[in-house]
Structure 1
Amino acid sequence: MLSPFHPLQMALGLIVWALYFVVIYSGLSVVCTHSPPPAANAGALNTVNLALLALTFAVALSLFYQAWRGNKALRKEVASHAQSGASEAPLPTRQFIARIAVATYLVAGTATLLTGLPALVLIPCV
């Protein structure tokens, strides 16, 4: 697992969201082409949408977990920086990276939920 202070963390949340986006929409297209749900009048809660919701919540929870993990590491870093009494800049590179990464993971998690929650009300393959 990457350190919360690794520079890749600043983009990883949006990369995960982009992959999620491609997987759900391409997967939905493939399912609707090859084996659509039984009937459109069955409503929005069918196996296709339930699978999409499960994937949405799994990805969103993992993104929010990474944000929590980064925030926890950031608070520990700030506390140790304050205790050491260092006179260097208040936001060193490590803290900057962690702050941007936490914000990115929160945005990606929110975007994941906003992308997947229409599966609660929209009927697939119509």
Structure 2
Amino acid sequence: MSRRAWLQPCHPAQLVIGLTIWSIWFVAMYAGLSVACQLAAPAEQQGPVNWLSAGLFLFTLLVLALLLALAWRTGRACLQRRKSADNAAGVNYFTGYVSSVLYLAAAVATLAGGLPVLVFAPCS
């Protein structure tokens, strides 16, 4: 078995990778916000339109794109495995399907957590 087998689209590790990426994003986003507000807070008069909000939203969009790309990759592999007549295809199909749904759930949670930076001033 390969050392990188867990990167395959239908590997059971895919079930936790999306939510792990989301949790890393969540911690980095709000820890970064706290540190930036302590070290170099933007002027409160700028409201939500400042360098900090732009950087946080760009980070959110990058993580969102990663999660959507992983969902697409896993879903596509899942459908290809379903068409095969292999006995293990059923388990791989289930794992791929659930992984795709979890990637999409993590993407929605990322977007929902990142949208407030467009509306609220970051350090107020």
TM-score > 0.5, shorter chain as reference: yes
- The one-letter code of the counterpart of 1:23 is A
Distance (whole Å) between structure 2 residues aligned to residue 73 and residue 45 of structure 1? 41
Amino acid in the other structure paired with 1:4:
P
Tell me the amino acid that sits aligned with residue 105 of structure 1: Y
**Would you identify which runs of 4 or more consecutive aligned residues in structure 1 move more than 3 Å?**
none
Distance of 1:56 and 1:124 partners within structure 2: 15
Cα distance in structure 2, aligned partners of 1:29 and 1:19: 15
Confirm or deny: 8 A CA contact 2:75 2:96 kept in the other structure. yes
Q: Which segments of 5 or more consecutive residues in structure 2 lack a partner in the other structure?
A: none
In the aligned structure 2, how far is the partner of 1:112 from the partner of 1:74?
23
Report the counterpart of residue 105 of structure 1 in structure 2. Answer: 103
Which residue of structure 1 lines up, in the alignment, with residue 47 of structure 2? 43
Q: What residue identity is the alignment partner of 2:63?
A: V
Q: Tell me the TM-score normalized by structure 1.
A: 0.89
Structure 1 portions without partners, runs of 5+: none
Larger radius of gyration: 1
Q: How many Å apart are 1:103 and its aligned residue?
A: 0.5
Match of 2:71 in 1: 67
In the superposition, the TM-score normalised over structure 2's length comes to: 0.90
Aligned residues: 119
2:93 is aligned with 1:95: yes
Higher relative contact order (CA closer than 8 Å, sequence separation 6+): 1
Within-5 A mapping of 1:1-126: 2-37=7-42, 39-81=43-85, 92-126=90-124
**Structure 1 residue 43 displacement after superposition:** 2.0
- The answer (yes or no) to whether the contact 2:82–2:90 under 8 Å persists in 1 is no
The answer as to whether partners of 2:79 and 2:93 remain within 8 angstroms in 1 is: no
